[in-house]
Structure 1
């Protein structure tokens, strides 16, 4: 639950890895269960609701995507998660690396690319947020227990108030999703739902 009201003038929405390969039924990781869990979570409708709300507020919205850079082993192989990515999945410039239909960035919404887990690692996210005077980061996207969790942890470590929208995130399955919410993010982030958050301007 949110512990205090939001100052919407100092809040940004950060969307993580809402890409075809991660979520779409024809994506590279659909067989892992990720596409099915996204449907269970009503991920796309909830993120659309968040986007509509944030745009009405003229809130900063930053899209963050993980990509495989072709031409070399730029992602490394030091951890299993990085060995999962590429050479065709999430390939820069491919349909799989593109945003899900209806969740694309519009003019004025930066799209940051990276090849690490956290949205803060290897991008200008922290600088953009500080330049805007942002103190609260609302995070939605995939996968809850991987890139979303890493981004929230880094947001906390960078001094931001981190908030996760629990029904606008999804993972491989409900167990992995629940592990992040029940254990890993305890005492790290505040939890809210799409309806709770978007009611802030009611």
Structure 2
């Protein structure tokens, strides 16, 4: 199992100020994320953070992009803005990469694939905000790139609990193992 762990990365996605601020987060909601990060670190699983941010002036944003055109207009989503920084509750430790993406998928414009391939990683464990956004988009693209996938169902959040349930119970299992953070952590021992 150690050989497999060395090839695995935990992706902690969109756990940044401006995105998480839209959700009611209490200690119980943080626990699965913290469990996953702690277990990964304790067992030598690479932790990689993914955030959404743009260069000054938003050159990556097309005016016709419904999701991101408003960000370019109102600002607050550049790499230097406080809203794009990873939250203290799951903050990166020195040596843990922070990848910046410019679309919904963690792979979009981020260099994530190069980072994973350079480290020999072929298995991804996904968690983040939101289930129907970054988790779904990243899972689909990672599956197309032939990564082995696990989704931590309780370390994913969506604005619509029913959408989260359908994705976790019916859609994700077609391409990934779906576990709780605790179940995944226990498999590492």
The normalised TM-score by structure 2 is 0.88
The answer as to 2:48 corresponding to 1:23 is no
Q: Give the secondary-structure state (helix, strand or coil) at the position aligned to 1:50.
A: helix
Distance 2:64 2:168 in 1: 26
Distance 2:61 2:52 in 1: 10
Per-residue deviation at 1:73? 4.9
Report the equivalent of 1:163.
150
Which consecutive unaligned segments of at least 5 residues does structure 2 have?
Answer: none
Describe the shift of the 1:120–1:174 C-alpha distance in structure 2 as closer, same or farther (beyond 3 A): same
Distance 1:43 1:84 in 2: 28
Does the 8 Å CA contact 1:43/1:169 hold for their aligned counterparts?
no
Q: Give the secondary-structure state (helix, strand or coil) at the position aligned to 1:7.
A: helix
Report the equivalent of 1:91.
78
Which consecutive unaligned segments of at least 5 residues does structure 1 have?
Answer: 1-5, 25-29
Report the equivalent of 1:132.
119
> For each residue in 1:76-126, what CA deviation from the matched residue of structure 2 results, as whole angstroms up to 9, or x when unmatched?
243422235343343321221111112111111111111111111212211
Per-residue deviation at 1:10? 1.6
- The structure with the greater share of residues assigned to helix is 2
The normalised TM-score by structure 1 is 0.83
Computed over aligned residues only, the root mean square deviation of the Cα atoms, in angstroms, reads 2.3
Report the equivalent of 1:106.
93
Report the equivalent of 2:56.
70
Does the 8 Å CA contact 1:145/1:179 hold for their aligned counterparts?
no
Report the equivalent of 2:140.
153
